[in-house]
């Protein structure tokens, strides 16, 4: 089972709750009881898409780039669990 979406949501909420303090991947990993490498892989996707900012080194860590209210759960889902042939996302109404 892919946990990427759940980890991404948890990470964004954790970062929001911890503002303005930078959060390390080790701290996030501990809160989720997962390997920090898995966390960093998911956070790199969020970083590339502008959800978070990050820095490496002794004083490194992650911060939210924008408010949670500006984030779209559907877009976050598509980023972390890309569509496959067996998966069809149906959208109704005006886009």
CATH of the domain at 27: 1.10.10.10
Query: At residue 61, does pLDDT exceed 90?
Result: yes
Give domain status of residue 94, yes or no: no
Angstrom distances, CA of residue 65 to CA of 19, 71, 85 = 11, 10, 32
Give domain status of residue 47, yes or no: yes
Provide the residue range defining the domain that includes 61: 4-80
Contact 39, 11 (CB under 8 A): yes
Give domain status of residue 18, yes or no: yes
CA–CA separation, 82 vs 84, rounded Å?
7
Give domain status of residue 92, yes or no: no
Give domain status of residue 66, yes or no: yes
pLDDT at 1: 44
pTM (2 d.p.): 0.82
pLDDT at 33: 94
């Amino acid at each position: 089972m892919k946990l990427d979406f759940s980890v991404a949501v948890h990470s964004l909420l954790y970062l929001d709750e911890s503002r303005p303090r930078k959060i390390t991947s080790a701290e996030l990993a501990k809160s989720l009881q997962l390997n920090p490498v898995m966390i960093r892989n998911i956070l790199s996707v969020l970083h590339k898409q502008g959800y978070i900012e990050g820095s490496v080194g002794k004083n490194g860590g992650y911060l939210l780039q924008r408010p949670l209210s500006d984030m779209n759960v559907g877009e976050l889902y598509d980023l972390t669990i890309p569509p496959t042939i067996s998966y069809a996302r149906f959208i109704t109404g005006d886009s």
